[in-house]
């Protein structure tokens, strides 16, 4: 019974705190990026100011289907996070996250804008790029821990990273896509020069755009949770190491974002599949041999 109560509390905490943590991460991202470019940057709470400004605007949608699919995107992202933080099945988390991506892509396709259509096509290519690696992450945890259960993974007798370094490298690589960082910010960029023509969200504004930002805050929090799983095990002090590695991974993505220019989609697809094959698949073969 205590385990059920703990999972319920964890799920409620995710629903309430994830937007706060995600918004703060976005603010830290902007602040660090500004410092790297020798600028002062916006206030730490600027993402929240932007969110409430969007929320206060008149709701305008190209069609009713667009708002429906954006809501579906937010809903499936939240469900993915709930599965994760209630220590459910990690494979189910990956599948639900895929459904969220599908809703986001269809929302962009529902518009007749050529910029939105191109953004949707690029988002689809990005999904094709990172999905194989996410599946290998879930498979790697299964081979290493004997279960897809996140509870079992967290209580492993050893650090998962020891046997899954290649899979961890592959995960960090595709997180550049999921966090929408250069060199893979192809479908939707937060850069200033693309505010008017912003790819997949070109025809989305007001409260609908605010929902997308909210979904990304939720998504970023549980994606960092994947990083946490590599360094959390039965040791009492492992959560400190896990959180430290989450912070280091996020900082590394910000650093790469400010050092690299955008690549073409062909290069992104080829490089991610190469990393998936070399780092991820080889590590999977090693885990299968160890069993």
Q: DSSP letters along 80-149, please? A: HHHHHHTT-BHHHHHHHHHHHHHHHHHHHHTS--HHHHHHHHHHHHHHHHHHHHHHHHHHHHHHHHS-SB
Structural domain count, the chain: 1
| Pairwise CA distance, residues 82 & 61, whole Å | 29
66 near 203, Cβ under 8 Å?
yes
Rounded Cα distance, 56 and 193, in Å: 24
Report the C-alpha gap between 115 and 32 in whole angstroms.
30
pLDDT at 195 over 60: no
Instruction: Determine how many CB atoms are found less than 10 A away from the CB of residue 288.
Output: 10
pLDDT greater at residue 164 or residue 188: 164
Which pLDDT band holds residue 262 (cuts at 50, 70, 90)?
Answer: confident
Cα 226 to Cα 129, 176, 188, 223, 229: the distances in Å are 18, 14, 23, 5, 5
Residues 184/177, Cβ–Cβ less than 8 Å: yes
Over 70: is that where the pLDDT of 191 sits? no
More confident residue, 231 or 111: 231
Which pLDDT does position 58 carry in this prediction?
Answer: 78
Contact assessment for residue 89 and residue 69, using Cβ atoms and an 8 Å cutoff: no
Q: Cα–Cα distance between 221 and 207 in angstroms, integer?
A: 21
- Residue 291, pLDDT score: 64
d(CA 149, CA 145): 9
Task: Quote the domain boundaries for residue 102.
Answer: 2-149+158-290
**Structural contact between residues 167 and 222, judged by C-beta atoms closer than 8 angstroms:** no
Contact by Cβ (8 Å): 166, 279: yes
Q: Which two tokens stand for residue 132?
A: 């194989």
Give the global pTM: 0.93
Q: Which residues pair with 89 in a beta bridge?
A: 149
C-alpha neighbours within 13 Å on the C-beta side of residue 181: 24
pLDDT, one tens digit per residue, over 14-68 is 999 999 999 999 999 999 999 998 898 899 999 999 999 999 987 777 777 888 9
Mean pLDDT, the chain, whole residue set: 90
Of 249, 221, 242, the closest CA to residue 82 belongs to 221
- CA angle 230/233/234 to nearest 5° reads 180
> 164-186: per-residue pLDDT in tens?
999 999 999 999 999 989 888 88
Question: Has residue 196 got a pLDDT over 50?
Answer: no
């Amino acid at each position: 019974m205590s385990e059920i109560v703990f999972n319920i509390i964890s799920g409620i905490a995710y629903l309430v705190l994830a937007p706060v943590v995600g918004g703060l991460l976005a603010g830290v991202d902007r602040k660090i990026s500004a410092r790297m470019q020798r600028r002062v940057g916006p206030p730490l709470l600027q993402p929240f100011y932007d969110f409430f400004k969007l929320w206060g605007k008149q709701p305008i949608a190209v069609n009713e289907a667009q708002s429906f699919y954006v809501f579906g995107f937010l809903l499936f992202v939240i469900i993915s996070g709930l599965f994760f933080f209630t220590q459910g099945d990690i494979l189910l988390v990956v599948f639900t996250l895929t459904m969220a991506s599908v809703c986001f892509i269809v929302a962009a396709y529902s518009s007749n804008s050529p910029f939105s259509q191109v953004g949707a096509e690029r988002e689809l290519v990005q999904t094709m790029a990172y999905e194989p690696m996410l599946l290998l992450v879930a498979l790697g945890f299964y081979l290493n821990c004997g279960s897809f259960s996140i509870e079992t993974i967290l209580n492993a007798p050893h650090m998962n990273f020891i046997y899954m370094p290649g899979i961890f490298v592959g995960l960090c690589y595709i997180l550049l896509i999921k966090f929408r960082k250069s060199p893979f910010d192809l479908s939707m960029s937060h850069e200033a020069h693309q505010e008017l023509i912003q790819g997949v969200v070109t025809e989305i504004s007001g409260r609908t755009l605010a929902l997308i930002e909210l979904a990304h805050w939720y998504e970023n929090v549980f994606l960092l949770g994947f990083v946490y799983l590599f360094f959390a095990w039965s040791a009492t002090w492992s959560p400190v190491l896990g959180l430290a590695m989450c912070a280091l991974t996020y900082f590394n993505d910000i650093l790469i974002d400010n050092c690299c220019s955008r690549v073409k989609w062909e290069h992104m697809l080829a490089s991610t599949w190469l990393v998936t094959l070399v780092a991820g698949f080889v590590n999977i073969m090693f885990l299968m041999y160890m069993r």
